[in-house]
Amino acid sequence: MTRIDTKDQLASLLAETERRNPAEPEFHQAVREVLESLAPVLAARPEYAEPGLIERLVEPERQIIFRVPWQDDRGRVHVNRGFRIEFNSALGPYKGGLRFHPSVNLGIVKFLGFEQIFKNALTGLGIGGGKGGSDFDPHGRSDAEVMRFCQSFMTELQRHIGEHTDVPAGDIGVGAREIGYLFGQYRRITNRWEAGVLTGKGPLYGGSAIRPEATGYGNVLFTAAMLRERGEDLEGQTAVVSGSGNVALYTIEKLTALGANALTCSDSSGYVVDEKGIDLELLQQIKEVERGRVADYAERRGACAHFVAGGSVWDVPADVALPSATQNELTEADATTLIRNGVKAVSEGANMPTTPEAVHLLQQAGVAFGPGKAANAGGVAVSALEMSQNHARTTWPAARVEDELAAIMTAIHDTCHETADRYGSPGDYVAGANIAGFERVVSAMVEQGVI
């Protein structure tokens, strides 16, 4: 098979995927990004291009959609929609978070689940790819309302999950509070203390040390590895960070620990620039305790910080940019601005936060670019470590977990870098991540037969 034939085959498969999955642009985008990387590996390994293998890879093994009725504090009944996409289990049980946000729909969950296949493969920890969630919005809801929603959600979800089948975790809108309510309902219905069925649990009942920190920490470690490859380190660098949720908070914390200066944070109302560097303790108080807005941070921080309503956090000049909020938040125009301002590295803390056009611009300009399926794999890596601790009914000290995370992120970086070199795309972490994850998954699929 020639490379031209391979490219034609991939283009045909993408067109067929888009036809069979209409009105799901995020899923189309995620599939396109992977397929565009695969021509060299399929040319070198024609057995991977056999009919049906890639077709199976882009088709979820199972798609679950269900009704979630719940009552608010006034007794009014609401109906939301729940999703779980069990995408690929060739390497292990499905593993991926639950997202509670009004934007959640089938296409969003499928894009996240597809990305999760490759991300989980890169960790080397024996976990498959899946994702789930609901269009429920926990913002502004009381604890009692969130509990009732979670109980209703788990009443259906429990039929489909288990520590050897599918292990959900948290994502946007699903933190320790939500995981606790979900776990309690699972235990209530099943009459089993199955700690490994959910990750991101509280430390009193099977949660792992540094699980909340892991995605943000991991992305910073991946960024540091990319810079080291270029003969630099993070110490003394300035950084712009988007978001103010879990990923952003711990991205800021790890940047500070490694000597960088995180200048920004953001939410849907706008962004804050803090010339002295973000005060993490104040930001955590406002966002995690008071559930306030970043504008409150600027007001209480003093003259060194100012709030910008709307606008783009990527307008702030910095050495490093770490998008940590949501998909497609960093556009082609933003990339142009970052390049003009001299950015050295962009690394994705969120899932697919950079548009394809922006990625292309950054790579053309020689900016080190860390794709989310590699750079933000720290969260699922520590989730898998949590599963290991649960199986052994033990708890590891934080220092051990952090050492394991650092080793995993270094290995992911090195795998992506080496794979890109091997297939003629030196320095292209997107190609390296896609191909390395693909090789691991499809090799397992081949060995297990047509299922």
Indicate the length of the chain as a whole number.
451
Q: Which residues are annotated as a binding site for substrate?
A: 95, 116, 119, 170, 383
Residues 6+ apart with CB under 8 A from 8: none
Query: 3-state SS of 358-394?
Result: HHHHHHHCCCEEECHHHHCCHHHHHHHHHHHHHHHCC
Which helix (H) or strand (E) segment is 203 a member of?
Answer: none
Residue-wise pLDDT tens digits, 125-182: 999 999 999 999 998 999 999 999 999 999 999 999 999 999 999 999 999 999 999 9
pLDDT at 3: 43
Which candidate, 121, 24, 5, places its Cα nearest to that of 374?
121
Here the tokens at position 428 are 């292209």
CATH topology of domain 214-370: Rossmann fold (3.40.50)
Residue-wise pLDDT tens digits, 187-219: 999 999 999 999 999 999 999 999 999 999 999
Looking at residues 244-248, what average pLDDT do you find? Answer: 95
Is the overall model pTM greater than 0.85, yes or no?
yes
Backbone angles phi, psi at 105, to 5 degrees: -145, 180
Residues of the chain with CATH 3.40.50.720: 214-370
The total of other beta-carbon atoms located within 10 Å of residue 17's CB is 19
Question: Binning pLDDT at 50, 70 and 90, where does residue 320 land?
Answer: very high
The total of other beta-carbon atoms located within 10 Å of residue 64's CB is 19
pLDDT over 80 (residue 314): yes
Mark residue 307 as left, alpha or beta (left: phi above 0; alpha: psi -120 to 50; beta: remaining): beta
Looking at residues 345-361, what average pLDDT do you find? Answer: 97
pLDDT at 1: 38
Backbone angles phi, psi at 65, to 5 degrees: -130, 135
Q: Residue-wise over 130-150: b if at least 16 C-beta within 10 A, else e? A: bbbbbbbebeebeeebbbbbb
pLDDT at 147: 98
User: Mapping DSSP to helix (H, G, I), strand (E, B) and coil, where does residue 305 land?
Assistant: strand
> What ranges in 158-292 are assigned the alpha helix state H?
176-190, 214-229, 246-257, 280-284
Is the dihedral angle over the CA atoms 266, 270, 276, 280 positive or is it negative? Answer: negative
- Would residue 276 show up in a list of annotated catalytic residues for this protein? no
d(CA 145, CA 158): 20
Residue 205 per-residue DSSP state: G
Question: Binning pLDDT at 50, 70 and 90, where does residue 317 land?
Answer: very high
Q: How far is CA 391 from CA 124, 143, 194, in A?
A: 18, 30, 9
d(CA 6, CA 151): 48
Residues 6+ apart with CB under 8 A from 115: 30, 129, 351, 352, 372, 373
Residue-wise pLDDT tens digits, 52-110: 999 999 999 999 999 999 999 999 999 999 999 999 999 999 999 999 999 999 999 99
The total of other beta-carbon atoms located within 10 Å of residue 449's CB is 6
Q: Which residues are annotated as a binding site?
A: 95, 116, 119, 170, 215, 246, 383
Question: Binning pLDDT at 50, 70 and 90, where does residue 5 land?
Answer: low
Residues 6+ apart with CB under 8 A from 421: 432
Residue-wise pLDDT tens digits, 387-442: 999 999 999 999 999 999 999 999 999 999 999 999 999 999 999 999 999 999 99
pLDDT at 307: 97
Q: Out of 131, 287, 344, 373, pick the active-site residue.
A: 131
62-194 in CATH: which number? Answer: 3.40.50.10860
d(CA 128, CA 22): 25
Q: Which residues are annotated as a binding site for NAD(+)?
A: 215, 246
Residues of the chain with CATH 3.40.50.10860: 62-194
Here the tokens at position 176 are 């320790």
pLDDT-wise least confident of 46-50, 278-282, 350-354, 411-415: 46-50
Whether 147 and 71 have beta carbons less than 8 Å apart is answered as: no
Whether 352 and 328 have beta carbons less than 8 Å apart is answered as: yes
Residue-wise pLDDT tens digits, 262-313: 999 999 999 999 999 999 999 999 998 998 999 999 999 999 999 999 889 9
Residue 73 per-residue DSSP state: T
